[in-house]
Amino acid sequence: MTARIHQARAVQEWMIGHRRELHQHPEVGLELPRTHDYIIAVLNDLGHVSESHTAAGVTVRIPGSAPDGIVSVLRADMDALPVTERTDLPFRSTAAGAMHACGHDLHMAMLLGAARVLTENPPKRDTVLAFQPGEESDRGALSTLEHANLTFPGAATAFAVHVHALAAPGSILCRPGVFMSYGDWFTIELGGPGGHASQPDLVGNPIEAASEITIRLRQLVREIGAAERVVATVTESRIGNTVNVIPSTGSLRGTLRTLTAETRESLIQGMHDLVGEVATGHRLTGELTIHVGYPAVVNHPDVVNRLRDQLRQTELADKVVPMPEPSMVIEDFAYFLQRWPGAMVYLGAQAAGNSSFNHADDVVYDESALAVGAALHLMASDGI
């Protein structure tokens, strides 16, 4: 295990070079032609034979030196966000309206670093490296999981790292059970006859109804979230377009985050009741639509405990930080963990002076985290 840490550190500068190249050329969504080609080229140069499919990512299978019938599946996401970068980094994004604000460039570089080490220092277990597109909102994990390299029979353990922009560099945040939340989106449509602005008593006003729904949704969250964290946030309102007409329609959109299936169901039912009650009270029609998002990321307790035990035997022992509560972030690595037991960890990567969380247009990451991330992948390739 200690050897894996030293091996990862030995390729730190190599990983930084690849990370910066990837950072400068971000791509959004499922189809990432330049990124796909880049990853394939690096893997080919290392002597790995890759499997790749359009909009489905790149995978490589590396034979183990002491296979035990369990495959280690290591995953990194590849897609950027539709954000215009606002940093002063010399390697900032050159793509208009795209930025690796969530740190997926670091994730790719870490896994490439592991791939380089494993060419000369093979994993103990048979290992599959999976580079996945479309994590942010396209369920890219589902298409990547269809790779021949990932449709093998038998047991496996899945592992992934996600950088955390506000955690100390090199810290390893982990917890058994729910690690990241369920995530859904909602739309509320309000409708009525509309009317003249001088006659508000004659018709219902979608603006008033939407305001009441937004305020009462906060109260619903407090009631349901008394025992565990719940998020229901209105993020978009589209109602009205002039000063002298009461609009006939309006809509709200937003995000839901929950930690259990039961709480999710309670929240959604409560929202249906709320929308119906408020719409009726304002003489309007109201309809709530739930857009099903990602399942929760659920870490297998045995895998987390074994990882902690292994890390305690290394110089990274003091870097392990238990997470008292799950993160309300969502992640489609959840689909990997629905197929195999495994774990995801947060890896601290807060750069000096950075106060922004992942997804911000000015977020900056500490590249020293790359060696720790690669070491974690290497340890997972040997078995956790």
pLDDT tens for each residue of 150-203: 999 999 999 999 999 999 999 999 999 999 999 999 999 999 999 999 999 999
Active site amino acids: 79, 135
In the chain, pLDDT over 70 holds for what percent of residues? 100
Calculated CA dihedral for residues 137, 140, 143, 144, nearest 10 degrees: -170
Domains, the chain, with CATH or none = 2-180+296-382 (3.40.630.10), 182-294 (3.30.70.360)
Per-residue pLDDT tens digits for 22-51:
999 999 999 999 999 999 999 999 999 999
Mean pLDDT of 347-353: 98
At residue 226, the pLDDT reads 87
Query: What tens digit of pLDDT does each residue of 272-327 get?
Result: 999 999 999 999 999 999 999 999 999 999 999 999 999 999 999 999 999 999 99
Spatial separation of the C-alpha atoms in residues 144 and 175, rounded to whole Å: 26
Burial class (CB in 10 A: 0-12, 13-18, 19+), 33: exposed
Percent helix, strand, coil in the chain, to 5, is 35, 25, 40
Alpha carbons 290 and 232: distance in angstroms, whole number: 12
pLDDT at 233: 96
pLDDT at 1: 77
Tell me the pLDDT of the chain averaged across its residues: 97
- Report how far residue 16's alpha carbon sits from residue 365's, in angstroms, rounded to the nearest whole number: 12
List the structure tokens of 214: 């937004």
How confident is residue 94, by pLDDT bands cut at 50, 70 and 90? Answer: very high
- The pLDDT of residue 15: 98
Confidence of residue 227 (pLDDT cuts 50, 70, 90): confident
Residues 102-119: what's their mean pLDDT? 98
